[in-house]
Amino acid sequence: MSLHGADPTAGDWIPTRVDVLRAADRARVRRAREQHRPLWLLLLIAGPGILVMLGENDGPSMLSYATTGATYGIGFFVPFILLTFLMAYVVQESVLRIGVATHRGHAELIASRFGIVWGGFAMLDLFIGNLLTLVTEFIAVRAGAAFFGVPATLAVFAGTVVVVVSMMTRRYFTWERAVMALAAFNLLFVPAALFAHPDAGAIARAMATWGPIPGGTGGGFLMLVLADIGATVTPWMLFFQQSAVVDKGLTRSDLRQGRIDTAVGATLAAVVAIAAVVCTAPLFAHHVNVASFSGGADFASALRPYLGGSGASLFALGMIEAGLVAAMTISTSSAYGVSEVLRVGHSLNLTLHQGGVFYGISLVSIAAAAAIVLIPAAPLLAITLAVNVIATLLMAPALMFVLLLANDRELMGELANGVRANLASGAIIVGISLIGAIYAVTIVIQEFHGG
């Protein structure tokens, strides 16, 4: 099927630009498969999984991990973060299967299977949630640049230009490769962590014992648990990867490589997330109070005595990269989701004229977020952590749609969920819901006793 629903078997069918470009991409994949070049085949198919995972290592995520390391050290949270990325793989593997089985985006499927009301709800929920998250991405860009003395207005403007220019390629494959190249700089947190001279034995003990938890499991601890889950699994990821799989033209024969792509992305993102915790663990060891920090620049400056100028600079550069890559992927997620429900063209292979609504949605959301982040005296770190918590609380209902779609055998055929996939997905939904409920009850009790 073409993007606009024309039947290619009909005699009067005329291929669109999207059809032609997607066919060219598929021809490369077919040649790699016929020539038995497995590594080249994987490199051609890789993209949606790596981007969705490294894109989720965004500004608010890295600040959540930094706050975690500075507040609790490496004890409980190092193995916990690994668990959250295992959860992310389970969720995104389901999304991958739905995409290759149906060749339709997530928002489009919700609207067609559950009705336009639910489709509209999903679209509105996605757009608002993504706008809030985009604000935090520009917070990350602004904060990272501030460490190098770059004024906030200039940093946000430059970041906006980079994101907009990336979309002007009007070619999915080119956009994907450009964003993947930038996403590689997420690994800057790894050498930054080495400047902290981490204790390998302490990390190994943390992995084995899941402890200790300094200060106990009060509201602050639960908020960081929620924030770190929201730093790993969020609603925009569902819409982005499924639509990217469709835009890339992946088929059932690509499922194995798609799973590897997603697993590699989850592994890389987990390593970087743990590196961010290790980076800021010296602040915990030296009892530095980060409650008054306003963003990444404060963290980088506070880390300078412990990581040195080079380590602190790597941390700040990593914050800039995290914000930029996430802004690119999240704004594209909004464009996919809204355009699918509105039934207009939704592909990065469209020209600006053909994809006016698609590109317009992305540009409007980027411009609005960039403007909001320049509001004077905004509590940037508090906004960042709150966005991750909100994302976690919204995740359970979003995951229900994934679970229902993945079990729809009319849609999925032999790719429908099995017993193990349903048990894993159900456990994730229940776990996220329980943590959210416990956090809410804890806050109510604290407010009651405080009053």
User: How is the chain split into domains, by residue range?
Assistant: 17-409+419-450
pLDDT at 320: 92
pLDDT bin (cut points 50, 70, 90) of residue 98 is very high
289 has a pLDDT exceeding 70: yes
What confidence tens digit (pLDDT) does each residue in 175-208 have? 999 999 999 999 999 999 999 988 888 888 888 8
pLDDT at 313: 94
What confidence tens digit (pLDDT) does each residue in 237-256 have? 999 999 999 999 899 999 99
Ranges 9-18, 162-171, 291-300, 408-417: which has the least confidence: 9-18
1 has a pLDDT exceeding 50: no
324 has a pLDDT exceeding 50: yes
User: Mean of the pLDDT values across residues 333-345?
Assistant: 89
Q: Which two tokens stand for residue 198?
A: 């981490």
235 has a pLDDT exceeding 50: yes
Task: Characterize 356-369 residue by residue with b for buried, 16 or more Cβ atoms within 10 angstroms of its Cβ, and e for exposed.
Answer: ebbbebbbebbeeb
pLDDT at 277: 93
Mean pLDDT of the chain: 85
pLDDT bin (cut points 50, 70, 90) of residue 4 is very low
Question: CA 218 to CA 233: how far, in whole Å?
Answer: 23
pLDDT bin (cut points 50, 70, 90) of residue 349 is confident
User: Mean of the pLDDT values across residues 354-380?
Assistant: 85
Contact residues for 239 (Cβ-Cβ < 8 A; gap 6+): 105, 106, 107, 126, 333, 336, 337
Ranges 9-18, 25-34, 314-323: which has the least confidence: 9-18
351 has a pLDDT exceeding 80: yes
6 has a pLDDT exceeding 80: no
pLDDT bin (cut points 50, 70, 90) of residue 373 is confident
Say which CATH topology domain 17-409+419-450 has: Hydantoin permease (1.10.4160)
pLDDT at 385: 64
Sign of the torsion angle spanned by Cα atoms 282, 284, 286, 291: positive
pLDDT at 16: 81
pLDDT at 243: 92
Q: Kindly report the CA angle at 301 between 297 and 306, in degrees rounded to 5? A: 140
